[in-house]
Amino acid sequence: MTAYGLVVSVLVLLLLGEAASADASGRIVGGDDQVIRNAPWQVSIQISARHECGGVIYSKEIVITAGHCLHGKSVTLMKVRVGAQNHNYGGTLVPVAAYKVHEQFDSTFLHFDIAVLRLSTLLTFGLSTRAINLARVSPSAGSTATVTGWGNTDNGALAETLQKAQLQIIDRAECASLKYGYGADFVGEETICAATTDADACTGDSGGPLVANSQLVGIVSWGYECANENYPGVYADVAILRSWIVKAANAI
């Protein structure tokens, strides 16, 4: 490995270190409880009967999540919990029939961190279970968006009940600028960032929704630590990836 390669690898390990230290800010920080009826598109993706990631209902049979949540994993181990307040009980647990990760997904940098999966049975929509529309336009810098999930809380464990946090959008160019710690190599062209003081997504929120004006604008992808002011949360930009999502959903 070249010296440059080594530096990049070490940095990647740091960035993807999933808040290895049980950092005090490790919560969908600033998180308030969110009732599932107010985020009925939110699901828990379970692998080997444990919450692995969040996900988003696109249709009665298709769920969107992050590429890194499914990449290389066996479909037979996957289930999706829908319509549930808690990731480990309630709602309905549905097996997964097939999944597809973006062809350009890059597991080192988490570029194109998007995937769709097909459920083995059709969902019944109701107050706690329904789809959300995909944004056609990327949200503008400074606008507000809400992230939800069961990711790590202050004590470094998953949240028992669904959490939400309100964030401000940081456009891709600003997120990749010297104003923050990442730089342009890390912040992919197909991403958008979001942050606020003392609130952020965290480990276990990946694959979950970032919502603005009742539309899906982002999918939780990665970040260095959680609620570190120099490192915003990075999201797959749904408007940019929209045509891939629509096509992949039809193809699997």
218 touching ligand ARG, by CB under 6 A: no
> Minimum Å distance from CB 19 to ligand ARG?
7
> Minimum Å distance from CB 220 to ligand ARG?
5
Q: Exactly one of 134, 206, 216, 236 binds ligand ARG (CB under 6 A); which one?
A: 206
- Both tokens of 237, joined, read 């930009």
Cβ closest to ligand ARG, residue 123 vs residue 222: 222
C-beta atoms surrounding 22 within 10 Å? 11
Q: What are phi and psi of 225, to 5 degrees?
A: 55, -160
Pairwise CA distance, residues 201 & 177, whole Å: 21
Q: Which parts of 18-77 interact with ligand ARG (CB under 6 A)?
A: 18
Pairwise CA distance, residues 50 & 170, whole Å: 32
Cβ closest to ligand ARG, residue 26 vs residue 83: 26
Q: Exactly one of 64, 84, 203, 245 binds ligand ARG (CB under 6 A); which one?
A: 203
205 touching ligand ARG, by CB under 6 A: yes
In the block, which residue shows the tokens 């039809």? 250
Helices (H) and strands (E) in the chain, counts: 4, 14
**Contact indicator for 195, 167 with CB cutoff of 8 Å:** yes
> Minimum Å distance from CB 11 to ligand ARG?
15
Q: Which parts of 123-162 interact with ligand ARG (CB under 6 A)?
A: 151
C-beta atoms surrounding 113 within 10 Å? 31
List of residues contacting ligand ARG (CB under 6 A)? 18, 151, 200-206, 220, 222-223, 226, 233
